[in-house]
Amino acid sequence: MDAMSRCFLTEACNLDLLICVGRHLAFRDLLRLSSCCRHTRPLAGVEVLWKSLCRIDYGLTYKHPDQLYRVLYQNTRTQRYGRAPCPHLSLIDSDIDGPDTLNDRLSPITIAIRDRNDDNGEMEPAQESMDQLSCQRCSVRGSDTIFICATRHCHQIVCDRHARLHARPCGAQRHSIFFKPNMGELFCQACVDWVGGNETDPAEQFKADAVLSTWVGNMYADTLTRNDVLKLRAKRRLERGLRWTDTPKYIMQQDTCFFISSRWMADWELFVEGWSRDPPSDPIDHDHLRLQDGSLNPAISFSPFAPDMTDLVVVSPRTWQYLVAHYILNGRPIAQSDLVPRDKYEHWTAQLAQWRSRLLM
């Protein structure tokens, strides 16, 4: 078949017929067909084809209202936001079970979380009621360690360990998305990641916010508690993105770096990762790391690779500036420029130079 015959065949097909053909094509084949001639070029802009490809290739059935499925597919394919949108979020309905049905199915949860009357007829604080949540499979208790399955008709209350067991595939069902009541966020046990963060694709953010609006509206009847949860969620998402961006490679790419107490960083990461509802209240304090003359103890250890096993954690200037602007700092900061005299901290500067050459090679 010559080129004229092939061109005639494409001209003989209207757009509806070409769309039917495009439904059976993979991503690259669809692009090849749309680039054949001016008659097939409109195929590249047919949203129904890109919607089908998003579902088949990446398991995505949602997008942002202002986003095209073609753009969503491109973002997912190129990992524009660091990772693909969570495909398991497609299995969660935005309205969950609806407010009335949700209250019926979650009666044990809503009784425990909402403000309720105690024996004396007085109202208990919502947070104290929430802390009475316990795993339905073991004795673990407390909102900081509890997850609630967000899958329709399920809503089991489980701890972290049983959430991982609950998320294992069972036949055609997989309950991967969980709601964490102490922080008002969604966590995917299959992706092992928080869903809908500031650093994710706009489609995932929109879908997650739609799901969370129903959960938060029904779980926290008290307006003050709900506003507090939403405020802390926004703060946690911002700081989580800041912490995740602060990789050893990113830190070593900066002209300088700062050191912060690993004790304080451990408390901060508990808040960032949702294991503590409130941010650290203790100030950033390095006095226990200094000698009597105010200089740093040269025997203390630090590493960007093992913060749990060192005295100091290395952070970037951007992270340090945020922390000192939003948390209390006692005493002077510890920066790379403070490592004087050089001979006293020679092993520190040698380590930093070695890590920089190792990460940036």
- Residue 347 has what pLDDT? 75
Tally the residues of the chain. Answer: 361
Question: Alpha-carbon distance 315 to 259, whole Å?
Answer: 6
Beta bridge partners of 335: 258
Alpha helices in 106-222 (DSSP H): 107-113, 126-130, 160-166, 202-219
Rounded CA-CA distance 165/307 in Å is: 29
Do 261 and 285 contact (CB within 8 A), yes or no? yes
Rounded CA separation 34/351 (Å): 55
End-to-end alpha carbon distance in the chain? 53
- Give the 3-state secondary structure of residue 186: strand
**What's residue 296's pLDDT?**
78
pLDDT of residue 59: 94
Tens of each residue's pLDDT in the chain, 361 residues: 555 455 555 666 777 888 888 889 999 998 888 888 888 888 888 999 999 999 999 999 999 999 999 999 999 999 999 899 999 999 887 655 544 444 554 444 554 444 444 444 444 445 556 777 888 888 888 888 899 999 888 888 999 999 999 988 765 577 899 999 888 999 999 999 999 999 899 999 999 999 998 888 888 877 878 888 889 999 999 999 998 888 888 888 888 888 888 889 989 999 998 888 889 999 998 888 888 877 777 788 777 666 677 888 889 999 999 999 999 998 888 887 777 666 677 777 787 888 778 776 6
**Cα-only R_g, the chain:** 26
Helices within the chain (DSSP H only): 3-12, 15-22, 27-34, 47-58, 69-78, 99-105, 107-113, 126-130, 160-166, 202-219, 223-245, 248-253, 262-272, 317-326, 346-360
pLDDT of residue 134: 86
State the pLDDT at residue 200: 92
Q: Decide if 74 contacts 86 (C-beta within 8 A).
A: no
Tell whether the torsion through CA atoms of 236, 237, 238 and 243 is positive or negative: positive
Q: What is the structure's pLDDT at 231?
A: 92
